[in-house]
Amino acid sequence: MGCILRGTALMSLVAASMWAEEPPQALNGLPLVFEEDFEAGDGRWRKTDPEAWEIINEDGDHALALVRPSNYAPEVRSPLNIALVKDLEVGSFVFEATLKQTGRDYDHRDLCLFFGHRDPSKFYYVHLATKADAHAHSIFLVNDAARVSIAKERTEGVVWDDETHLVRITRDAESGQIAVFFDDMERPIMQTIDKTFLTGTIGVGSFDDTGTFDTIRVWAEKK
User: Rounded CA gap, 3 and 177, in Å?
Assistant: 8
Neighbouring residues of 6: CB distance < 8 A, sequence distance ≥ 6: none
In whole angstroms, what is the distance from residue 9 CA to residue 166 CA?
18
pLDDT in tens, 203-214: 999 999 999 999
Q: What angle do CA 53, 50, 87 make, to 5 degrees?
A: 105
Determine the average pLDDT of the residues in 61-84: 97
**Residue range 84-100, pLDDT digits in tens:** 999 999 999 999 999 99
Query: Rounded to whole angstroms, how far apart are CA atoms 221 and 202?
Result: 13
Q: Average pLDDT over the chain, rounded to whole? A: 91
pTM (predicted TM-score): 0.90
Q: What are phi and psi of 98, to 5 degrees?
A: -105, 135
Decide if domain 9-222 falls under CATH 2.60.120.560: yes
pLDDT tier at 26 (50, 70, 90 boundaries)?
Answer: confident
Give the rounded distance of the alpha carbon of 92 from its chain centre.
Answer: 14
pLDDT attached to residue 132: 97
What phi and psi, each to the nearest 5 degrees, are found at residue 15? -60, -45
